[in-house]
Amino acid sequence: MVTTRTAKAAPRRRANELRKMLEAQDELEFALLQMKADTLSRIDAALRRLDEGSYGDCFQCGDEIAEARLRALPFAVRCKCCEEALETLEEHNRHVAQRSAPVVLFDP
């Protein structure tokens, strides 16, 4: 009886492993689709700014975004200086949020 139970457990364990692998693959594909959709959205917005004549103007300070930056990142909306300032602020906010987050002793 133990042998039968063991023999049935292996395929079940393998099936569960396969299911987890497929779920992970689905999540990865979904994340890639989200990234593609986000990039397309940024490109559409850049094309709109081109039509409006505001392409290359920094959203933050209004200065011109450097040509080299636009060549590397055609849908950039901030100059390098403003982008770096924003990233620093976001990083600071993440640190503050982590420090003030309640400590979870166990995950139910």
Residues at the contact surface with Zn ion, assessed by CB under 5 A: 58, 60-61, 79, 82
How many CB atoms sit inside 10 A of residue 76's CB?
Answer: 20
Q: Is 102 exposed, middle or buried (0-12, 13-18, 19+ CB in 10 A)?
A: exposed
Residue 28 or residue 61: which is nearer to Zn ion going by CB? 61
Give min distance, CB of 81 to Zn ion, in A.
6
Separation of first and last alpha carbons in the chain: 34
Residue 9 or residue 61: which is nearer to Zn ion going by CB? 61
CA distance 43 to 74: 8
Give min distance, CB of 82 to Zn ion, in A.
3
Give min distance, CB of 29 to Zn ion, in A.
35
Residue 76 or residue 79: which is nearer to Zn ion going by CB? 79
